[in-house]
Structure 1
Amino acid sequence: MNKKFSVLIKNKITKFNKTILVENDKSISHRALLIASQCIGPSNLKGVLESEDVKNTIICLKKLGVKILKKNKKYIVYGNGLRSFRKPHKNLLYVGNSGTLARMLIALVATHPNLKVKVSGDNSLNKRDMKRIIEPLSKIGCTFYPRDKTTLPLTIEGTSMPLAQKHTETLGSAQVKSAILLAAINTHGITTVEEKKISRNHTENLLTAIKASIKVKKIKKNNLISLRGQENLSNFNLEIHGDPSSAAPFIVLTLLTAGSKLLIKNVNCNPTRIGFIKILKKMNANIRIKNLKKKSGEHVGNIFVKSGSLKPISCPKELVSSAIDEFPLLFIIASVIKGVCKFSGINELRHKESDRIKSIEIGLNQIGIKTKSTIDSLKIFGNPNIKIKKTLEVYPKNDHRIAVSYVILGLLLEGKIKIHNCETINTSFPGFLKLIRKVGGKFEVK
């Protein structure tokens, strides 16, 4: 983690008309690096996000014996084929703050014979639930120590004979689904995943693009994914585009700053990632996606946003999984528009880097916004006239989404907000504050 710093915001942002690029997709960066490590030959990856989370992925893969070079802004991953990891130094791997890296890397390690590796994270990640991957990976023959522990640090003992199984994914977790699929590429036979709640499908898209033996079949509202494992994977070339989650805070700033317009170019617009935009359109947001094209199985386009009046919403449950990372920003919007917004089916937010429902609720309550919550829902009574009378001190607890969301709140309201622990933003969006300045936001770094 970089040196600790805080951000102090004293002034609302004024109207702007800008064109920007946001940093590239973190989810795809992780997956591309991990899958390339299991391919035969060099894969060329352009646009890998250079955030702390992704840098930890590169460090872990290098420790496992994967050669990775950076040349001309491209990362070249020299894959040695399936189950080719070597024992890391001292049999230790550190995954930092990244739940995605932890769960997907553990799945690959767990299906490598002769590996027994201890995986640990930072203080935040070490509190997060790993039972959701321990159960399906134990089912195929992997072993975890200590036996009854469900949080990191954990020691993973790889199995020499992983067994293809039928899995059911009910959480709407792309991390769990992807962990099963990455274990499956090293597992003989056909592994199936019945996806009860649809989640982001970058893993399936990339495996399809590189011609892995994967099939996705739609069954009513569910997906049935099947993958034939232990078939060699060929190296590939991939260009990674803008992260829709990184576009989201700037969409919010534009919508709620009168007279503003924004064009965000070359953003990944995968349908499983733009629930945030679909929800905003139901709130009367003026957002258009232009020049949509399909590249390496992913939809890429330009997002045009214009400010306007938003109306409150009862958020449809079916859009929750495709907007899961953007809910803190939706809560910020709900707090500063007229009316009552209701969000339900959002229990998964309590199992992220922090309890994101609680983290936002505490801050909103402190500035006078009324909220009501349950384990699975949040109701926000918006007040467009709210002002911060006393400096709001925010402690994001190593949760980058919370830090970003409060920066946006600070730029939308009169009064002062001080967000501590802002170095955590570098885990996913190191260029965030620089872009805030580009669109006219003013802040002090403390």
Structure 2
Amino acid sequence: MSKILIIKKKIDNFKKVIKVSGDKSISIRWVLFSSLADGTSTAKNLLMSEDVVASLKAIKSLGIKFKVNKNICKIYGKGINGYNYKKNLIINAENSGTLGRLILGLIINTPKPIKLIGDKSLSKRDFKRISDPLSKFGTRFKLTNNKNLPLTIYRSTKLKPIKYFEQKGSAQCKSSVLFAGMRTSGTTVIRAKKSRNHTELLCKYLNLPITIKNKKKYDEIKIKKIKNIKNLNYDIPSDISSSAFFIVLTVLSNNSELIIKNVNINDTRIGIIQILKKMGVKIVFKNKKIYKGEKIADIKIKSQKSITAINCPEKLNSGAIDEFLVIFLVAAKAKGISYFKGLSELNQKESPRLKWAEIILNKMGVKNITTKDSIKIFGNPNLNISKKIIIKNYLKDHRVFMTSVIAALSFGGIWKIYDKDSIKTSFPNFLKIVRNLTKK
């Protein structure tokens, strides 16, 4: 039975210091790299969400052992050729598109067919976008409806390197091809539209045979077959995507101030910061440092009395793709009309998020014009909600749930939000932190 959250009033002013959960993108990548490493790898502050647990279960099905004690995890790698490809193997990616797509690159050398499955939401997402480039290495796939999960990856007799042009700004597709290139003799060349670069940074930190040329509109990445990966010990920083909800809550609240500790502020992930600054929001990075190639800082935010509308540059889209739902809440309170375009990728997520943005804004009474890849939001600086709002049937998309919570706490009204457990996929501590902010 669906668990329901009811919110009846706006949040009071607050002044707090918080720490959010570990970065999901890095957590999943740490699991996958460590599964192929030589010896034991240890992670602190590993995000123990359903997506990361699914990643641990996936490597276990491939014969790799691990041990978890609270948020410290040890993975006992067996080396680059350490996977045990059993007969009739099934890997369940559950709700994780990152896991589902990335692991296909790692198992491209399987000598036996492997079936990849996922939950109802993941099974509706497009896997042809990754099976197409991986097929060029010499591997054969069979997909449901030629696009979806379940899919089966079949044995390849000999893998050959490829040239791949990634045009959508998908870090998942880019990373999967990178992993496949690590398995392949010769040099695989990737020309990729700008997107998050955690995989490349980990490759560089591990001294793998990768070269990267950063061009203006794309990156050119070359990867050669790898012989070994050293063990990877990692203190995982906090997730900017999780932090985004509390950044926006602070901006939209009255007389409030927040510091979020030790957040990953990777240049490819701070689109929300760049967009909010263009809207007049004051955000400060404190205690900046570099950790294993990643930029880390404390983020300080204050309430914003006046918010400026934005004609959002498309070049900022890929760096904010997971945060647009809460960014739209800021636009709802801005003075003027905000316009966001080139967002078709939003509808390739756990739910059609651009459609859900339209639904939520309509329920809030915020005028908007939404197309298949753009949204125009007519801001109301005096927005205050007094009616009842129900949010349900959103394919249990964790970001729809959390955005609805932030909207309820920021603008008022009586909100009845279904599928409270959806946060377990990415941010199990979300409501715990919300409750901490409401305590005086």
TM-score (norm 1): 0.95
Q: Which residue pairs with 2:174 in the alignment?
A: 177
Residues 45-64 of structure 1 correspond to what in structure 2 (within 5 A)?
A: 45-64=43-62
Sequence identity of aligned pairs in percent? 43
User: Mean Cα displacement is larger for which, 4-13 or 86-95?
Assistant: 86-95
Q: Which residue pairs with 1:7 in the alignment?
A: 5
1:51-99 deviation per Cα after TM superposition (whole angstroms, max 9, x unaligned): 0010000011101101112257421212122243223574111111110
Alpha carbons 1:273, 1:322 under 8 Å: kept:
yes
Q: Which residue pairs with 2:229 in the alignment?
A: 233
1:220 Cα deviation from its structure 2 partner: 3.3
Aligned to 1:337, the other structure's residue is in SS state coil
Q: 1:151 aligns with which of 124, 148, 160?
A: 148
**Count of equivalent residues:** 438
| Residue 128 (1) aligns with residue 125 (2) | yes
Aligned to 2:20, the other structure's residue is in SS state coil
Residues 228-377 of structure 1 correspond to what in structure 2 (within 5 A)?
A: 228-308=224-304, 309-377=306-374
Change (3 A) 1:293 1:158: farther
Change (3 A) 1:350 1:210: same
1:253-274 deviation per Cα after TM superposition (whole angstroms, max 9, x unaligned): 1111121100001001101111
Change (3 A) 1:174 1:331: same
CA distance in 2, matches of 1:412, 1:147: 42
Alpha carbons 1:113, 1:160 under 8 Å: kept:
no
Alpha carbons 1:63, 1:89 under 8 Å: kept:
no
User: Mean Cα displacement is larger for which, 126-135 or 362-371?
Assistant: 362-371
CA distance in 1, matches of 2:321, 2:435: 26
Aligned to 1:439, the other structure's residue is in SS state helix
Alpha carbons 1:243, 1:267 under 8 Å: kept:
yes
CA distance in 2, matches of 1:270, 1:28: 11
CA distance in 1, matches of 2:209, 2:48: 30
1:26-68 deviation per Cα after TM superposition (whole angstroms, max 9, x unaligned): 0000001101111222112222110001000001110110111
Alpha carbons 1:398, 1:421 under 8 Å: kept:
yes
Aligned to 1:153, the other structure's residue is in SS state strand
Runs of 5+ in structure 1 lacking a partner? none
| Residue 393 (1) aligns with residue 390 (2) | yes
Q: Which residue pairs with 2:199 in the alignment?
A: 203
CA distance in 1, matches of 2:301, 2:408: 20
Q: Which residue pairs with 2:22 in the alignment?
A: 24
1:390 Cα deviation from its structure 2 partner: 3.3
Change (3 A) 1:12 1:71: closer
Change (3 A) 1:8 1:71: closer
1:148 Cα deviation from its structure 2 partner: 5.9
Alpha carbons 1:20, 1:265 under 8 Å: kept:
yes
User: Mean Cα displacement is larger for which, 68-77 or 322-331?
Assistant: 68-77
Q: Which residue pairs with 2:410 in the alignment?
A: 412
| Aligned alpha-carbon RMSD (Å) | 1.6
Change (3 A) 1:323 1:177: same
Change (3 A) 1:88 1:433: farther
Q: 1:113 aligns with which of 110, 114, 118?
A: 110
CA distance in 2, matches of 1:96, 1:89: 21
1:152-181 deviation per Cα after TM superposition (whole angstroms, max 9, x unaligned): 011111424211111111000000001101
1:382-412 deviation per Cα after TM superposition (whole angstroms, max 9, x unaligned): 2233343431111232211111101000001
User: Mean Cα displacement is larger for which, 147-156 or 309-318?
Assistant: 147-156
Alpha carbons 2:87, 2:112 under 8 Å: kept:
no
Aligned to 2:58, the other structure's residue is in SS state helix
Letter in 1 for 2:131: I
Letter in 2 for 1:306: K
| Residue 161 (1) aligns with residue 169 (2) | no
1:1-37 deviation per Cα after TM superposition (whole angstroms, max 9, x unaligned): xx73111111001110000000010000000110111
Q: Which residue pairs with 1:67 in the alignment?
A: 65
Q: 2:189 aligns with which of 180, 188, 192?
A: 192
CA distance in 2, matches of 1:429, 1:125: 18
Alpha carbons 1:83, 1:113 under 8 Å: kept:
no
Q: Which residue pairs with 2:380 in the alignment?
A: 383
Alpha carbons 2:307, 2:334 under 8 Å: kept:
yes
Alpha carbons 1:13, 1:441 under 8 Å: kept:
no
Q: Which residue pairs with 1:103 in the alignment?
A: 101
1:295 Cα deviation from its structure 2 partner: 0.4
CA distance in 1, matches of 2:404, 2:353: 12
Change (3 A) 1:320 1:171: same
Aligned to 2:148, the other structure's residue is in SS state coil
Aligned to 1:35, the other structure's residue is in SS state helix
CA distance in 1, matches of 2:293, 2:155: 31
1:351 Cα deviation from its structure 2 partner: 0.7
Alpha carbons 1:125, 1:152 under 8 Å: kept:
yes
Letter in 2 for 1:219: K
Letter in 2 for 1:149: N
CA distance in 1, matches of 2:268, 2:369: 28
